Every structure is written in C-alpha cells, then in structure tokens.
Amino acid sequence: MGHPPHREVNKSIRAFFDERAANWDDMVCPQHAERLKTMVAALGLSDGGRVLDVGAGNGVLVPFLAAKARFVVELDISRRMLCEGRARSVGEKVAFLQADVLDLPIAPAAFDVVICNSCFPHFSDQRRAIAEMARVLDTGGRLVVCHTQSRECINTHHRRAGGTVGGHELPPDDEMRALVTGAGLSVAEFSNGPGGYCLIGRNQR
Ligand SMILES: C[S@@+](CC[C@H](N)C(=O)[O-])C[C@H]1O[C@@H](n2cnc3c(N)ncnc32)[C@H](O)[C@@H]1O
C-alpha cells in the first residue's frame, strides 16, 4: 500500500519553504512583526496556556506567544524553517517539532490554543488540517487561523507567485465556516478586511 497522496504533495511544499528559510525575513515586510504583535495581543491569550504554533516558520510569533504561555510548541513541516527558529528562540518554554499538520503526532486535547498564522492556504487537505488541529484542542480551547492581510490579498499574492504556491488559497467565508463547524468547533469570531484575516473556532465539547 502506498503513502496517502498528501505526503507526496507536501514534499514539494516542504522543499519550497526549506529553500527559502535562510532568507525568509528578507521576503516579509519590515512591519510584519509589529503587526503580528498587535494581532496576538488582540487574541487576549490567558496566562499559562498550552500553545501550538502550526506552520510556525522561523518562529516569528515566539516572543509574543511565550510571554503568556505555559509552553509553546513550534511545529512546521520544514526542518530548515525550524532550525532558523531554534537559532533565535531560546528558553525552556519553547519546543520545536517537525511534523505535518495533516498527521499531528500529538495526543488529543493537549493544547488550549492552536494558532495557524499565514499558513492555512498551504495545507494540501484543508479539511483534514482543521480536523487535526481541532482534535488536539482541549475543551474550551481555541483554533486561530490568521493573516495580517485580507483573504483577497493573500489569494492574489499566491496566484501571482505561481509555481508551488500558485493555487494555495484561503477558501471563501462560507466554506471556511463549514470546515470549522464540520470539525466540531463553533465559530467564535470571524473577520476579513484590510486589517487582516482572523477566524477563531472554539472547542465547546
Ligand atoms: C508563509 S510561512 C508562515 C510562517 C509563520 N507562521 C509566519 O507567520 O511567518 C508558512 C509555513 O507553513 C509551513 N507548512 C506548510 N505546509 C505545512 C504542513 N502541511 N504542516 C506543517 N507546516 C506546514 C511551511 O513550512 C512554512 O514554514
């Protein structure tokens, strides 16, 4: 029996980000980190939470998440992205895990917050990704899918880039809501506009 089809697709996605990891910061705008700081502050994370940063990249969210969390797991499919993150984030609170969001090697209900910034369009099976992230959320926990730009800007950006990421899109709002509720979460917040994109799903089971 062969591997599931997403494993093959994800090899090319991993290669794409591995190749860009060393220069990733040169590719994002200088205001990016400041916008992320504001975005994470608006989430009102409670003290002592267990946070999973999915598609964590080079760890840009670590300073903002670790300030409040009991611990943060930085998870990414790209080993080189994680190496960049590890080089700049130290501290006992932060762990690094190379894994695919579609097959999370994590026990159910292990986290209070799962945050997925600027990476959801890249997931080759978005239904499965949401189901996996919902599975590892504890009761009352929140799944945050966010971007510092609107859905339209993100989708246009990927379309223009073409190649590996050419078809990587955030789905329309009704589709996204259906994915979240289909995974057993309720939609607690949803915004999309020039200030960014943020969907928060809550596990009320
Ligand atoms: C655009 S970068 C964003 C990184 C970071 N969250 C940020 O805000 O800068 C997208 C990240 O998603 C990761 N990624 C893509 N597909 C993934 C998957 N199936 N599982 C885990 N990570 C994935 C990539 O390796 C990459 O580091």
**How confident is the model over 123-133, as pLDDT tens digits?**
999 999 999 99
Give percent of the chain above pLDDT 90: 84
Please compute Rg for the chain using Cα positions. Answer: 16
Ligand 1 contact, 119 CB (< 6 A): yes
Q: Please state the atom number of ligand 1 nearest to the C-alpha of residue 10.
A: 19
| Confidence (pTM) | 0.95
Q: How far apart are the CA of 140 and the centre of ligand 1, in A?
A: 25
Q: Please state the atom number of ligand 1 nearest to the C-alpha of residue 16.
A: 25
Q: How far apart are the CA of 57 and the centre of ligand 1, in A?
A: 5
Ligand 1 contact, 122 CB (< 6 A): yes
186-193 sheet: strands from edge to edge: 94-98, 71-76, 50-54, 111-117, 137-147, 196-202, 186-193
Low-confidence residues of the chain: pLDDT under 70: 1-5
Q: Please state the atom number of ligand 1 nearest to the C-alpha of residue 21.
A: 27
Max Cα separation, the chain?
47
pLDDT (tens digit per residue) in 102-130: 999 999 999 999 999 999 999 999 999 99
Residue from 24, 65, 72, 122 to probe ligand 1 pocket by mutation (most atoms less than 8 Å from CB):
122
Ligand 1 contact, 120 CB (< 6 A): no
Query: Which residues are CB-neighbours of 47 under 8 A, at least 6 positions away?
Result: 68
Going by CA atoms, what residue is nearest to atom 25 of ligand 1? 78
Kind and range of the H or E element at 95? strand 94-98
Question: Which CATH code, of 3.90.1300.10, 3.40.50.150, 3.30.1240.10, 3.90.1150.10, is assigned to 5-23+31-202?
Answer: 3.40.50.150
Which pLDDT score is estimated for 33?
A: 83
Domain ranges (residues) in the chain: 5-23+31-202
Q: Please state the atom number of ligand 1 nearest to the C-alpha of residue 18.
A: 25
